[in-house]
Structure 1
């Protein structure tokens, strides 16, 4: 069996939906498609998937969603320069402090999940000074209530302060990176890629500022 075939088999065994699967891949390799992985990255990702699929029989689909949400939020915090270490070990340390659990795969209980997820949101809002992050407001267009869009626009505002923008304005940047004329047409996976790219730029520029 090829590495690509093994990845897709393990994805199914781990009961990962497409978004969770691609978010996990991005966290581990920085890429969102198995076709783009190098042979070494594929082997690394197979090891990660093996770890997840080994517990798939006893882990509910809902608990998997808690884990994926925590991971996505942790990466957002990293891109916002609030979380300083993107690693699993750093995320597990935070989870341990919040819930007493040693690993996010043990995140079965909704109360535990809320302690970790909401605690991380509060930390990010406080550190960035942006109380609107990860919140929804009735009456606003759906795009403005999308946390991915919120993260991208916040990072952009920070780059404005540093006078280190990668394009004339955000609209030009979004169109150049995604090929979409309207932000409403940008796919969820593309927002993650935008978040990662701008986050890397913010970290680099922040160090030089």
Structure 2
């Protein structure tokens, strides 16, 4: 597989929208399109994607889980992977976990709203209990309204033992913007998009897995 194809696969795997993708290109190469990059520049982009959690050589990590609610469940499962709780990120492992917790099979929890809700709640309960994710609680911080911020903060607490939300946020915030770039720094953490948070979660997840 050539480097350009790998970059496009990395964009999809990391969940980057066009703006976040082009910002990553610009940070690494000064250019906003992959087509005009040299092989050396493409290599730098791939290395940056690797640091964010992209595994170019890892094929077949998922087994094709489909359905209206599969994406939400997969996102929570990858959050567990990035928190160091999940050892096997494949969809088959997700299916096994949900079946153990709820007795539901994939056909039901991927397509039926009530069963999907049970599966989501089972995953969230686990991430909250063992991963420290504060679902349903913003603690007065608007940037904690979305799951991305909540999961990234839980990761930061693992990476920085003893971190507390208010006094230590200053250490968290520069670390986040170092990953996503200073383009949104003036707007604060509330200005980050879901794609930005995915980039942060993947990068923090790589650090967590390196220590476990």
The answer on 1:119 being equivalent to 2:114 is: no
What do the CA deviations read for 1:62-92 (whole angstroms, capped 9, x no partner)?
A: x52x211101011111111122211111112
- Provide structure 1 residue ranges, at least 5 long, that are not aligned to the other structure: 5-21, 56-62
Please give the alpha-carbon distance, in whole angstroms, between the structure 1 residues aligned to 2:209 and 2:144: 24
Higher relative contact order (CA 8 A, sep 6+): 2
Residue of structure 1 equivalent to 2:97: 94
What is the match of residue 186 of structure 1?
192
Measured after TM superposition, the shift of residue 100 of structure 1 is: 4.4
Match of 2:111 among 98, 108, 112: 108
For 2:121 and 2:106, the matched residues in 1 are separated by 17
Structure 2 residue 179 is matched with structure 1 residue 173: no
Distance change (3 Å), C-alpha of 1:144 and 1:106: closer
Instruction: Return structure 1 stretches of 4+ with deviation > 6 angstroms.
Output: 33-37
Per-residue CA distance 1:137-187 (angstroms, 9 max, x = gap): 5x8343122111011111111111299xxxx92222122221221212211
1:53-202 correspondence runs (5 A): 63-64=67-68, 66-103=69-106, 107-128=110-131, 130=132, 133-136=134-137, 140-161=140-161, 169-179=171-181, 180-181=184-185, 182-202=188-208
Structure 1 vs Structure 2 CA RMSD: 4.0
CA 1:106–1:124 in structure 2 vs 1: closer, same or farther (change >3 Å)? closer
Does the CA contact (< 8 Å) of 1:67 and 1:104 recur in 2? no
Q: How many residues align?
A: 163
Q: Which residue of 2 aligns with 1:59?
A: none
* TM value normalised by structure 1: 0.62
